[in-house]
Structure formats: C-alpha cells, structure tokens
Structure 1
Amino acid sequence: MTLKIVRRLLPDWGTTYGPAGDGPFPAVMVLHGSEGGWSGWSHRNAVMLAAHGFLAFPFTYSRSGNVWNAGNISDVPLDRTAEALDALRAFAPVKNDSVGLFGVSRGAEHALLVTCLMQRDGVGTLPDALAVHATSDVICGGFDARAYRDVGDPGWTAWDTARRAWTWQGKSDDLLPTTPIPVEKYAGPVFLSHGKKDTLWSWKMTERLAARLRSQGREPELHLYEDQDHVPDSEGENVFFDQLIGFFQRHLP
C-alpha cells in the first residue's frame, strides 16, 4: 500500500499534510479556534485539504496547553503568524510560492486580523487568498480554556472581555476588544461563510464583513448556511468543504 497523504516537517514550525509525491502543491495555513491546536481539529481540517491536492499546515498559536487542555488565546503574538506564513511560502514543496490562509472561529478572527496588520505595515507577503468560517467582525477578548466550564462548576469564571487576545510588534494598544477588523483593506480574494443558526457568533458579523468589502468595490465569495450552527453538521460540512476547496483551487495557481 502507498500512502496518499503524507506528513512533512516544516522545520522550526511543525508538521504539514499533503499529497504523496514531490509536488509542488499549493499551500494553505490552517488556524484553529478556541479549541486550541492540541485538540486535533485543525489537523483534521488540514487533512481534508491535503486529500484534495493542497499542502496544509495547521499552525498552533494558542499559548501553553497540552493534549488535555486547549491552552489560551491571550497576548498571542501575531508577528509569529506572519513569520510562519513566510516560512510556509518558502517551503520546497510549495507550488509557485502560492499560499492561502484559512481560519475558523477565533482562527478566522486571527486570519483576518493578521492579514490586515501585514497589509497596513508592509510586513511579510500577504496570503494569496483568505478564507474564514464563523468569524467575528471585531477583535474579541482573550480566552483561557481553563476557565471555560459550565455555570455552577467550582472552576467557572465569567469571560473577561477586556482581556487582550493579540499583540502586534510587541503592543496591543490598537488591538482592543470590539475594534472593527478592516477586512476591506485586503485586496485579494476572500471567502466568507457562516451558519445562520450559530449560537456563538452571529452570522450578521460575517454579513457586515461582506458589506465592508462591497463598499470598496470588492465582491467576496459569501456563503450563509440556513440550518447550520457554529460547527456544521455532517451534511453541512460536506457543502462547506466543497465550496472552500473550490475557492482555493480557483485562487491558488
């Protein structure tokens, strides 16, 4: 038997998943949500992309954490994400230096925000295509999985929305919670999707992002799923991945 999907180490950064063979392959960096990098969801999403011809890199940005705990999204240095994106672009199996960025939930917020900051400050090379699912349209507060418990649990604490999630070039003063994410500054292709029965982030946030892009003469690829929650069900996810993969196939040469 010959493996159809193989892992390749991106030196100093982590593992990637891609088709067997020498390539080259278009690449996608995958950003996890508040479940953290150790949970495996971003790796599973990377394998889905790898099965369709992409070299996918699930980048773990959550701080601390282990296989039992998601870690936290607090004072995460977005500069490191920009560096990881450049490292992936320079990786030998990557085709035409072509790299997309894909995030879900807090990873979607992360993807939008780091792209906008890279654009604003001329840092690194921007992703060639940007895809986000179930995102917020504003910066959200820091998150610590250790405190995320059912109300009434002895370890439960209220989410401190003033806690800062992100830093950029060592600072967070302009990355305060509730600050709008200026996605309209990014000129590349954008994929936006959201379930209209999302009980965590309102789908209206994604609709507002689309409106901002259109106000600048840009037309995002927008998908709103009538019967889907924050995490799609099996049928909904099949539809989502079909659309996501089609988007990256069209925009990553």
Structure 2
Amino acid sequence: MIFEVEAHETADGGSLFKPLGAEPLPSILVLHGSEGGDSGWSHLKAMWLAQYGFNTYPLNYSVEGSPWHAGNIVDVDLARTQNALHYLREEVSLGKKVGIYGFSRGAEHALLLASLMAKESVRKDLPDAIAVHSPTDTVAGPFRPKNHSAISPELNSPLSPAAWRWKGSSKDILLGTPIKIERYQGPVFISHGTADTIWSCQRSRNLEVRLRAAGHSPEIHYYDGQGHTLDKASNSIQQKRLVAFFKAKLSS
C-alpha cells in the first residue's frame, strides 16, 4: 500500500514526513552522508520510505551546512541523534518501533551510535532495527567539504578535531577505532557495492564477519560491480529490500 505523505516541521527546524490516514506507525531516522543534510538527498529518501507506512525524520547533523555547502562532519554530538530516536519513539510513533537508515557517513553514524548505546545498556532509545549502505567498520576522520576527503592527512592528525563526540568526549571513538556493532542485539541490514572505491566493500565484509562470529544473523547484500552509490537497476532492487526489511522488523 502506498500512502500520501504530509510534511511537518520539527522543533529544531527539521522535517518530519508522516503517512496520512494511519496512526500510530513505526518510524525511521534517516542519516545523510557527506553530501550534507541540506542537499535534499536524505529528504528524498525519507519521503520515499514514508510512502510505505513509516514516519521518517531526515536528521541534519552536519555542521554549518547549507543548500550550497555540505557542512562539516566535525565534533558531531551523538547525543542529538539519541534524542531524535527518543523523540520518534515517544512523541511520533507513540511507543511503536523505531529504526535507522544511514548511507556512507550516515551508515558509520548509525552503527557507531548503536554500538555505544548497546555498550552502555541504553536500551530505551536503542533502535529496533538498523539498515546501512556503504558503511565503514572503523571510525573515519572528520570531514570538511573544501577538502572533499575524510582521509586527508591534515584532517587525521592528532591535533585535528574528531568527527564524533559521545558523552562529552571523543577519546574512545577516534580515527581507526573499530565500530563494535556486534554489541547490538537487534536486526542489521548491510549493503555495499563490490567496486566501491571510496570505502572498500571489505569494510562491510569485516562487519559481517564480526556479527556472525557473535552469533548474529545480519541481512547482507553485495552488489557486484557497483560503486559507493548504486545504478538505477541496483537501486530499484535495494529499495525493495529496504522496505521489506523495515516492514518485517518494525511492524511486529
């Protein structure tokens, strides 16, 4: 079933997309990549997911961004993302389940936050399902669009600010720190193009190995010959898989 979608403004000036005619519904927090939250891509993804019966919230977490400037991923406070999950569960979905979908840096963001929350047993706000595309298995460095790189030497020096902050500190989530998503006990969906030249597909394979070694059964999809983003044919398959995953994991 395809729903009509209505847009609402959130308290922080963001956008919340809600399907019309069915309440309450599960929600999905959408996390953008280095293209930034004002580029519109995460909003398009959120609107598309909302048509299938999910409240969706594309969180703009990049710093000092605009429609003409992607914004920095530097010293991003992960507590704001946790608060967004809490908002979706308590005020939007009214106790229904909440998932996260992230792409590239948004995938890193989603996996890192879930691993940290699981480590500290922050169960109330933990997402009920996580889907990521083109993730990394280790924490990446800070990103500034003018450098157009998350791995340039000047950004990854010990004196450079970190990409992420948790509980007021970045010391345990600096560049190269493994993202221990195996701590998370919920369902995980991972997809990656095998020809990705930005973040190698091996990063997803490493995540898969760790998850399976810990007794988890992640849903994994590798797209042969695809890069960091998917072509139209592969993206069509990916979209169907994403909707099926979230319907199965969030609707019960």
Report the AA paired with residue 45 of structure 2.
N
CA distance in 1, matches of 2:58, 2:168: 24
One-letter amino acid of the counterpart of residue 59, structure 1:
L
Alignment of 1:66-105 (within 5 A): 66-92=66-92, 94=93, 96-105=95-104
TM-fit CA distance, 1:166: 0.3
Give the aligned partner of residue 53 of structure 2: 53
Structure whose residues are more often strand by fraction:
1
CA distance in 2, matches of 1:161, 1:111: 21
Of the three residues 186, 189, 196, the one matched with 2:187 is 189
Q: Give the letter aligned to residue 221 of structure 2.
A: H
The offset of 1:10, in angstroms, is: 3.2
Q: Deviations over 1:133-173 (max 9, x none)?
A: 00010000000012229xxxxxxx76623441000011001
* Structure 2 gap segments, 5+ residues each: none
In the alignment, which residue of structure 1 is the partner of 2:139? 139
- Matched residues in 2 for 1:13 and 1:91: separation? 16
Q: Alignment partner of 2:38: what SS? A: helix
Alignment CA distance shift 1:36-1:51 (3 Å) = same
Q: Distance in 2 between matches of 1:67 and 1:202?
A: 28
1:117-132 to structure 2, matched below 5 A, reads 117-123=116-122, 124-132=124-132
Kept in 1, the 8 Å contact 2:194–2:200? The answer is: yes
Query: How many residues of Structure 1 are paired with residues of Structure 2 in the alignment?
Result: 243
Q: State the AA in 2 paired with 1:58.
A: P
Q: Distance in 1 between matches of 2:38 and 2:154?
A: 22
What is the match of residue 106 of structure 1? 105
1:202 matched to which residue of 2? 200
2:63 aligns to what SS in structure 1?
coil
Cα deviation code 1:94-135 (max 9, x no counterpart)? 264210011000000000001111111233520000111000
Task: Describe how 1:14-33 pairs up with structure 2 within 5 A.
Answer: 14-33=14-33
Contact 2:25 2:96 in 1 (8 A): no
TM-score w.r.t. the length of structure 1 is: 0.91
Q: Do the aligned residues in 2 keep the contact of 1:143 with 1:159 (CA within 8 Å)?
A: no
Match of 1:160 among 155, 159, 183: 155
Normalization by structure 2: what TM-score? Answer: 0.92
Pairwise CA distance, 1:18: 2.5
Report the counterpart of residue 223 of structure 1 in structure 2.
Answer: 221
Identify the match of residue 171 of structure 2 among 168, 173, 196: 173
Query: What's the Cα RMSD here?
Result: 1.7
Moved more, 221-230 or 21-30: 21-30
1:234 is matched with 232
Percent of pairs identical after alignment? Answer: 44
Which residue in 2 is equivalent to 1:37?
Answer: 37
Measured after TM superposition, the shift of residue 62 of structure 1 is: 0.4
| Partner SS for 2:102 | strand
* Alpha-carbon distance between aligned partners in 2 of 1:117 and 1:80, rounded to the nearest angstrom: 14
**Gaps (5+ residues) in structure 1?**
150-156
